[in-house]
Amino acid sequence: MSVAEPDTSAEPGDAGIRWQRPSPLLLRARRIQVGLVTAPVALAGGLIAAAAGSPALGLGIGLGLVAAGLLWERFLARRVAAWGYAERQDDLMVRRGVLIRRQSVVPYGRMQFIDVTAGPVERSLGLATLRMHTAAAASDARIPGLDRAQAAKLRDQLAALGEAQAAGL
Amino acid sequence: MTGPSPGGSPPPRLPPPPPADDIASWHRLHPLSPLVRAGRHLVGIGIFVILFLFANQRGSQTGHDLIVDLVVVALVLGAGLVSWLVTRWQVADGVLRIETGLVRRQSRRFPLSQVQAIDVVQTGLARVLGLAELRLRMAGADSSGGRLASLPLADAERLRQRLLSMAHAPGTAAAGPPAATSGVAGQAARPERPLFRVRSGRLAAAIALSRTGVFAGVVIAALLAVIAAIGRPGVTASLLPVVIGVALTVWRQFNGEFGTAVSAAPEGLRLRSGLVQTTAETIRPGRVQAVRLVEPLAWRLFGWCRLEVDVAGPRQRRENRSEAQRLRALVPVGSRADAERMLGELLAAPPWPTRRAPARARWKAPLAYHFLAWDGDDRYVVASRGRVCRKTTWVPLEKVQSIRWVQGPVQRRLSLASVRLDVAGRRVTASLADREAAEAQQILAGLPDLARAARHGGRASRGAVNRA
């Protein structure tokens, strides 16, 4: 739980909420994901343009796509930094988003079940995503990039709290 | 094989034994259920047979086609018969058990304490045969509620009553049949109090003026104009299905909401509706997740509105998916007074949206600004929104599943924010849109505590349903 340092850079009205952060490795995971998408797309785009037009056009389009990927990467750091969660006494609070900022409050008693998933990239870095489900389809509370052990611990903790406060429908 | 047998055989068997102990043993469904279940296919096949007969009047293939069709009909009926033979149900220890399946035996248990509602549904053919289907709606997210298709109508009604009373008090059902029966008898003796009945003419007019109706009218008029202008049989034949399809959606809504009647019964609000296919369902007190008042532009001219409720648990059927998207309309169309009276039955002293959005929200939502408002007390939150059609949503705080605070880039520039309250069910959300940022933060900070207090203390002060 090395990440449990209180965070001061937040929106107004945050007083008293101790935000916890996903693992710093999340940024690397996201970067790898962006790279894995950008490289083949740029390669394919460049080759197709080279085959259809001239090699120069292909090179230009390929480089353009790479530049787009790099631009995308620039925003990653802010988006990753925006994630945060806080275990409060009766509910879990999750916040995310840079352009559209969101904060969700999910009472422990409303949790129906909790998922821990890990994609190939996350798995290779020892990360996992925790997702909480309530009876409402619109509820949207997930925490990406948790240390796998920490995710398991949080899951058990949340499950226990949910059981203790279960409120049904 | 139609008329007398369904009406004739069950009554002599059922009244003599008190229904208390007879549901504890294993039962079969009504012998005609395969026919009802296959009804839809039979009608389709019948149409095909007639079409083939017309088309191939001189062709030598007619007999062959007919044989193929008959084989299909026989297969469908045979499969239905086998499924009927291996299906049985039982109610014991507060659990409805349905066993079915020939190759893959399946035994399903439905704990009655988790039943959200029980519907009695009659399709057209079932109505002719005096049969009905019993549907149990559970709280789960999938559509696999219990279905008992089909039972004689009277039995279905009686079983519904009994199951509902057992659902209220599972202990008595398990312990002593006498207690359960007397309870049912006592409840059944109390008359239902009628609350609302939709006027057929007004319903037709309202649907014609609704978005569905106007859209359907425009499409049908355009297509008919095309058909008339071109007039070739090929074009007509290809466009006609579209016309029929559009007309069917309108018809389905009219059929579903025709004759909607709501009355207050001891076990909750009783809702009956339907022209060809009738549905009777009970909305149990404390199961209402959200109430919504809808006022489309054209309806406001006449002072009409529509009151819908969202009850936990899906209402999904493969054949009418459009129905699954909609909420249950307690007042499909009625005057404002009708809706307010019904609202009073569902919620105790509900607040009305009075706190308007700040004036600068006009920049972000120029069309919706005039309807943006909310209010709340310690039991309910109400929020209204909409551009031309005003939608007002009430959510009991004890039903709130999660609370979301959202701020988009334009809102941030204007220092606004929205708060959304999610309830279980089909994406009903009370959206407190475009509030002052500070107010939104305050709501986000305060509502969870209010909701928790409502959850814990709200058991006693539930909605005013069935306070006669």
Same domain, B284 and B333: yes
Distance from the B217 Cα atom to the nearest Cα atom in chain A, whole angstroms: 34
| Closest residue of chain B to A99, computed from CA coordinates | B409
pLDDT, tens digit (0-9, with 9 covering 90-100), for B136-158? 877 654 545 678 878 888 888 88
Q: Given B312, B408, B423, which is nearest A100 (Cβ)?
A: B408
- For B385, the domain range is 347-468
Between CA A89 and CA A109 the distance in angstroms is: 11
Angstroms from B316 CA to nearest CA on chain A: 15
User: For the CA atoms of chain A, what is the radius of gyration?
Assistant: 20
Q: Note whether B109 and B251 are same-domain residues.
A: no
User: In terms of domains, do B182 and B195 share one?
Assistant: no
Residue B68's CB is within 10 A of a number of other CB atoms, namely 13
- The count of structural domains within chain B is 3
Kindly state the tokens that stand for B10: 């069950």
User: How would DSSP label each residue in B125-174?
Assistant: HHHHHTEEEEEEEESSSSS---EEEEEEHHHHHHHHHHHHHHHH-HHHHH
Q: What is the pLDDT of residues B290-344, one digit of tens each?
A: 899 999 988 999 999 999 888 765 444 433 333 344 578 889 999 999 999 999 8
Tens of pLDDT, residues A103-123: 999 988 888 888 888 889 988
Neighbours of A29 (CB within 10 A): 24
Q: Are B72 and B162 members of one domain?
A: yes
Task: Give dist(CA B308, CA B326) in Å, integer.
Answer: 9
B29, B165: one domain: yes
**Shared-domain flag, residues B121 and B224:** no
Contacting residues for B305 by C-beta, under 8 A, at least 6 apart: B293, B294, B295, B299, B331, B333, B334, B335, B336, B339
Do B371 and B298 fall into the same domain?
A: no
Last residue of a domain, one of B301, B329, B344: B344
Picking from B152, B170, B188, the residue at the C-terminal end of a domain is B188
Here the ipTM equals: 0.83
CA distance B18 to B34: 28
Two structure tokens written together for A20: 């916890």
User: How much is the pLDDT for B418?
Assistant: 93
Render pLDDT for B346-361 as a digit per residue (tens, 0 to 9).
888 889 998 999 999 9
Set of chain B residues whose Cβ sits within 8 Å of the Cβ of A102: 404-407
Question: Where is the domain boundary, B139, B158, B188?
Answer: B188
Q: What element of type H or E holds B328?
A: strand B328-335
Residues B215 and B136 placed together within one structural domain of the fold: no
Q: What is the CATH number of the domain that holds B364?
A: 2.30.29
Whether B407 has its CB under 8 Å from any CB of chain A: the answer is yes
Residues B255, B288, single domain; the answer is yes
Which residue stretches of A7-147 are H helix? 25-52, 55-82, 120-124
Q: Tell me: do B263 and B382 sit in the same domain.
A: no
Name the average pLDDT for chain B: 77
Tens of pLDDT, residue by residue over B399-443, are: 888 899 999 999 999 999 999 998 876 667 889 989 999 999 999
- Among the partner-chain residues A11, A91, A104, the one whose CB lies closest to the CB of B404 is A104
Residue type, B259: G
A25-59 confidence digits (pLDDT tens): 999 999 999 999 999 999 998 888 888 888 888 88
User: Coil, strand or helix: which one is B450?
Assistant: helix
Contact B312 A135 (CB under 8 A): yes
Residues B334 and B384 in one domain: no
Residue B30 contacts A, CB cutoff 8 Å: no
Is the domain of B230 the same as that of B359? no
Of B401, B426, B441, the CB nearest to A134: B401
Residues 6 or more apart whose Cβ sits within 8 Å of residue A103: A93, A94, A95, B404, B405, B444
